[in-house]
Structure 1
């Protein structure tokens, strides 16, 4: 190697350009390595221009006899014969040589390897980064730059092809740009072209697989793959760049693609490998409609795979299987399941009903499972339970007896559930799914008849047991969601959070139950009073009737805690619709309680009274189980407080007192109910209120604890107690203490008139509107607000509004 060569700085093209531009007469030997399309020829052209500008002749391989007269620039040295390469080796050893050679990473003859050794560490050309692309295309959006980079991998040649033919910000590869790949593919030879065709339809670039698929020997495939890599057609992981794949599919006749696809599918089917990536691109193509036994089988298997990875494709894949020749009855039940997983519940129920009554369908039990699951999603738990119950002894599926019992308990039919659970069970081997379902039924029954802690631990175990098998199974409900409901009803928020987090992470229950888990997760910040976090967890898109009930109650709870009366009124409109669609069941009592409070705040209970009456009858039929009854009773107490119905509040408090023994949350709610009665009667014991509020917070009802302290603050006649309770409310909400004002007025709390003014201001009325409502002047309203601000030690208008919300609570 020539030891007198100029340093190429960091080994990048910039260093080579700089070396030539600054000292064109100096000796230099350099190798430039890069795959096809990375700009080797363009770099040599720049160097040639620099040399010519300095008066240095630019020579090529035909001018090696007079190499000492100028600079020798050689492109694509990998294409040269050995004799020429040998002469370049001699030139590279000459002390005064000026030689720059470009070549691809491989394959390379021995003589080229010797030349590279003399040239030293090469200048490595790399693809363009997104930042470099942005410098070249200054007028394009950042999104389009990201798309361009993803499609081309930043390969300069492919970038240029798109830029020369694409419309600005249109994320579709131009056909003219794809057609320009014909020359690149022709340079690969027959074996290389066959390899990229196979890779484009989904084959992995493994020599043995490609050799078997293409009827070539492994050595041919190895050489072809080296040529493919050297041509710059693949990324670092040997996967075709998107623009290359699109070009292959466009420029290869469909008959050839179908032939390779069929062979590849046959190989994958024989090995038990996935076929979804192979046949999904065929959906909608004419060839997918042709009778073809191999494709029919592949579409069937791909439909099964899509249930986990691409549920929206599953129905179309099963339809394609039928079009390709699969008997309709053979895929009918799986087609129903696919429709359910894809969220097409009406279609799923229609197909499942057809499956259940058709004795020609080989897997009718799957149709029953789908029908039962869809009915539960639509808020029709009793019909779901009856479907499961009917299948017991007829069309058995893992967990049918247990889910029937859970549904029957959920609609208040405990005796029927017990009779079913006590009967013999011949559902098959004790798999994880049957075990999880059995524990689920046991835990739900325990929640009604026994201890909250035993019920919760049983349900959590059921949720854990169902995780490995839950993603592809269609279920009426998941152990995780029922465990979370029980945890929420007994104040075990940490248990609910961890159970739901695992369910979301593992995909338990598949897409059909994903939103249910997320909605229950949103309930956790709601009960803590964190409405921002609760709103952020609300899922978007279409929801089933059961999920809409939860979502609407969450919206109502958020609006109530934010004291947003307009949003609360909007939630009422949604609630009236969803209540009409959803039948009463045990597992819908949590959202029902929130909607009862909403209706009370809006002074509009008539529409929800029938549903509430039915829920109370359900609980009565179950013996008023404390775990499920206490939370609804607590919400009914809050509604009574909102409506200033002291007699009704006393009745609810007595009911809570009777259930206080069952679990710590029930005990905290019973104590709080007693304190509420004292507050409503004008008796505020600061120490007792703070103790009770903190107990509610500790038991899981953080926001309710803060509200109790805030309401006590507004009703006490002791200013010092009022401020102390106000700070207690702030602390329970996780807010820092406020600086206290000095000289705060006459020492009294808000008068009744000041409360009226404050409530209307919080509702968003202007001073003029408040005055009209109360038959006073706007100036008087302003005077009242000034006094309120002074009494509460508020320093700004926002500060005043925050304090008023804490004082007046969510019942205003």
Structure 2
């Protein structure tokens, strides 16, 4: 079969074949696998066709050849005497030589022979079109050609091997690698070492190769080995192995041989202070040992920690397997496990170090345990450990969380990005209790931005982004909260332990904005990771909140069953007031206030110890207000509204929730000022609390006897939710409009109907007959002026705050 040649080589072959001059010698030079033998035979055929001369494929000895065309293959393998004979024939007889050889080794006699050639054919790897032509007809597709070209580097012999073994799948079958075995077995030891170094990724590191190959300081010696390796065809021009050759080496060279080369390279690199992670990563599970391997594994683990803590943990374990004393790396291994999300493993190792008197890194182990305990809601114990370890910024954070205010500690070390971020975070938390909310939020935003470049590999009890988002949510700055969390998520701040927290807070923001679908999706994504008590508390609160806002009574009940365990597992701290406020409302809705009563009492006591900072108290006041309204406790609701009014006197930003609270109480009492309600709803919407805003307007619409006000407030609620307003308007008839307010029982029926329950199911829930439910629905349709069931359901969803229930 004719070789696949590009146009330039094909034209050169035709020219050379037609040349009849004696002594017009031809050289074919290329690495192994490039098709020299095939081209040599093709050229012989072309010579015969063009001149009628039958070329001779000659083998040593050559002393009897006197004329014609002599084809000589693999000239680089001939001994010096045979090469001298060929040179004599080329210079003293009319014989034309066509000599094929690899570019290396170019020892003297080979070079002298090739110096005589007048035409040299230099073969190159196949391009994509040539690869496609070399494939079987059934595999001549773009994706197969691209795959084979990428795997083989276009080396013709490798293309042929893969093409013969390929079964259609884009994978390299083992059968395609078997042909490399004899080639690898014939390699010189120094060339094989170079190839193993190339497989390890250090083929162009001259200093490492000098020591690995024991060739001495001369650059020529290294060049000889490199050129010999390239002449095999297994190595590309950049010193990297052709992918299929790399696969073959990994399959055919014993794993211990490859491991020893990598270990030796790592030891050499370690002595120079260079990175060893790329060399040691594949050896983590091989079980190699010795002091050098242990030191290399330990260094590689430290390199991996900022970007891949799970890998770092495996490398520290490999260091122990290699001979390092477990206690010597236990603290750093615990840190790696914690950053990877394995808090159980981290706590076990950290506790072992802390309780061993002569163990190194005891204080580092204490910070690991402290961070893990913070994620599990044990802020008091966390603060104690941080304080013992000298991590004063984190200790202050934990103390504030449990109601013990401490002054921020001045830094006495260099002002690194990390230390600056931690100092700002502590200052921001202190300011949130004793100072101005906006100053606290601004400080926390700066802390988050300062930490971003270095925060991926830092184990934190909480992130400035998460704490800043909490402050922003309490203060009605949802845009700031979203930005903080999205940037922290992109930067990977705090590793795996904080990734779930950031996702949950983003879901909370979506819920506050009334985007219940996004909130539910965010919750589902967050729950794919293991859940710590703090995250579990936020997760169940989001589930309750979504169900409540969707008017899903059944979902609310199911979520409440999970809430009990979440509440028990997490003690009260300052940073969980947001879910506690939601749990308070849910408890009132399911008539189980006793489950959260103790937590609410502890929360109030914690606030009192801190001087009742309004920024942190707002979620409890807001949740308490609505719980009291649901429970029919106007005096309690009034107390919460008064607290919000006092906060508004200190900071006008709190005026939004204070005004909305007062408006809600007035509406509940039967006083509906449409202007005041609409202003309050617009204020909540501007702060980002879209669902609460629409709910307030819808709630007021159910309580007014003025049809004009009802339609206006209903339209306000729908606009806030992003829905079209009703096209129906109240009649201009001067006669008094009938009363349109809905009773409490009718609101209960409305919530269950829009949740998708049948009249019978609604009746079973409320202990009334299905006929009575139908009667309530008919009265609501008449009062609201709905012309169809579809319009009625649409209006009821607005009135009861449903954002995503299907008709």
Shorter-chain TM range is: 0.7 to 0.9
Contact 1:185 1:193 (C-alpha < 8 Å) held by counterparts: yes
Name the stretch that deviates more: 747-756 or 666-675: 747-756
> Structure 1 residue aligned with 2:392, among 392, 401, 414?
401
* Correspondence 1:609 to 2:600: no
Shift of residue 229, structure 1, vs aligned partner: 6.4
Aligned to 2:127: 125
State how far apart, in whole Å, the 2-side matches of 1:243 and 1:403 are.
52
Match among 704, 712, 724 for residue 737 of structure 1: 724
In 2, are the aligned partners of 1:381 and 1:585 still within 8 Å (CA)? yes
| 2: CA distance, partners of 1:32 / 1:579 | 81
- C-alpha spacing 1:374/1:271, structure 2 compared with 1 (3 Å): same
Q: Which residue of 2 aligns with 1:448?
A: 433
1:791 equivalenced with 2:792 (yes/no): no
Shift of 1:560: 2.8
Cα distance per residue 1:75-130 (max 9 Å; x no partner): x99967999x99xxxxxxxxxxxxxx999999999999999999999995228999
Residue matched to 1:713: 701
Q: After superposition, what is the alpha-carbon deviation per residue over 1:611-663, rounded to whole angstroms, capped at 9, x for unaligned?
A: 22211221122221100001221122222333444333222212211211344
Identify the residue that residue 797 of structure 2 maps to in structure 1.
805
Cα distance, 1:383 vs. partner?
Answer: 0.7
| 1:655-670 → structure 2 map (5 Å cutoff) | 655-670=643-658
Give the Cα separation in 2 of the matches to 1:684 and 1:492. Answer: 28
The one of 368, 377, 380 aligned to 1:370: 368
Aligned to 2:350: 352
2:312 alignment counterpart: 314
User: Aligned ranges for residues 140-539 of structure 1 at < 5 Å?
Assistant: 175-185=174-184, 190-207=189-206, 209-216=208-215, 218-219=219-220, 221-222=222-223, 233=234, 239-240=240-241, 243-286=244-287, 288=288, 290=289, 292-389=290-387, 391=388, 395-396=389-390, 400-414=391-405, 417-418=406-407, 428-537=413-522, 538-539=525-526
Tell me the distance in 1 between the aligned counterparts of 2:731 and 2:683: 31
User: What displacement does 1:751 show?
Assistant: 4.9
The 1:720/1:358 distance shift into structure 2, 3 A limit, reads same
Distance 1:580 1:208, change over 3 A: same
Contact 2:151–2:242 (CA<8 Å) still a contact in 1?
yes
3-state SS of 2:458 partner: coil
Q: Secondary structure at the match of 2:456?
A: coil
Could you say what secondary structure the match of 1:706 adopts?
Answer: helix
Q: Is 1:775 matched with 2:775?
A: no
1:239: Cα distance to partner? Answer: 4.5
**Map 1:486-635 → 2, pairs under 5 A:** 486-537=471-522, 538-539=525-526, 540-635=528-623
Q: 1: CA distance between counterparts of 2:437 and 2:753?
A: 44
Mapping for residues 660-699 of structure 1, pairs under 5 Å = 660-699=648-687
Shift of 1:755: 4.3
Contact 1:744 1:793 in 2 (8 A): no
Deviation by residue 1:459-518 (Cα, 9 ceiling, x = unmatched): 223323333443333222222222222122112223223322332233332333232233
Alignment RMSD: 4.9
Counterpart for residue 90 of structure 2: none
Q: Indicate if the aligned counterparts of 1:372 and 1:388 stay in contact, CA closer than 8 A.
A: yes
- What residue is the counterpart of 1:89 in the other structure? none
Contact between 2:259 and 2:283, CA under 8 Å: does it hold in 1? no
* d(CA) in 2 for partners of 1:779, 1:502: 50
1:550-571 per-position Cα deviation (integer Å, ceiling 9, x unaligned) = 2222233233333333433333
Q: Which stretch shows the higher mean deviation, 765-774 or 595-604?
A: 765-774
Residues 34 and 125, structure 1, Cα contact 8 Å, conserved in 2: no
Would you say the 8 A contact 1:747–1:791 is kept in 2?
Answer: no
CA displacement at 1:759 relative to structure 2: 2.5
1:360 positional shift: 1.7
Give the distance between the partners of 2:483 and 2:539, measured in 1 at CA.
21
Alpha-carbon shift at residue 210 of structure 1 (Å): 3.2
Counterpart Cα distance in 1 of 2:495 and 2:315 = 18
* CA shift in 2, pair 1:728/1:116, >3 Å: farther
Q: Distance in 2 between matches of 1:221 and 1:455?
A: 62
How big is the shift at 1:225? 5.1
SS in 2 for 1:563: coil
Cα deviation code 1:144-202 (max 9, x no counterpart)? 9999998778989768767877899798x655444332245457655543322112234
Deviation at 1:33, TM superposition (A): 12
Distance 1:115 1:769, change over 3 A: farther
1 CA distance for matches of 2:112 and 2:696? 86
Distance of 1:527 and 1:613 partners within structure 2 = 25
1:402 shift after superposition: 2.0
Q: Give the CA deviation at 1:354.
A: 2.3
Output the CA distance in 1 between the equivalents of 2:752 and 2:713.
Answer: 23
Alignment of 1:10-29 (within 5 A): none
Query: What's the offset of the Cα at 1:785?
Result: 9.4
Gaps in structure 1 of 5+ consecutive residues: 1-11, 20-25, 49-57, 87-100
Give the paired residue count: 742
Does the CA-based 8 Å contact 1:526-1:558 persist in structure 2?
yes
Q: Distance in 2 between matches of 1:134 and 1:615?
A: 75
CA 1:777/1:564 → structure 2, altered by over 3 Å: closer, same or farther? closer
What is the Cα deviation at residue 801 of structure 1? 4.0
Matches within 5 A, 1:34-53: none
- Do structure 1's residue 758 and structure 2's residue 756 form an aligned pair? no
Q: For residues 507-555 of structure 1, what are the alpha-carbon distances to aligned partners after superposition, in whole Å with 9 as ceiling and x for unaligned?
A: 3323332322332233322221222333444422212222222222223
Mark the CA change 1:651 to 1:283 in structure 2 (over 3 Å): closer, same or farther.
same
* More deviation, 651-660/224-233: 224-233
CA distance in 2, matches of 1:340, 1:285: 24
Tell me the distance in 2 between the aligned counterparts of 1:557 and 1:134: 61
CA-to-partner distance for each residue in 1:278-332, whole Å, 9 max, x for gaps?
A: 122222224x2x3x11111111112212222322222332222123222333212
Alpha-carbon distance between aligned partners in 2 of 1:570 and 1:163, rounded to the nearest angstrom: 59
Question: Secondary structure in 2 aligned to 1:690?
Answer: helix
Segments of 5+ residues of structure 2 without an aligned counterpart are: 12-17, 19-26, 58-70, 77-82, 88-98
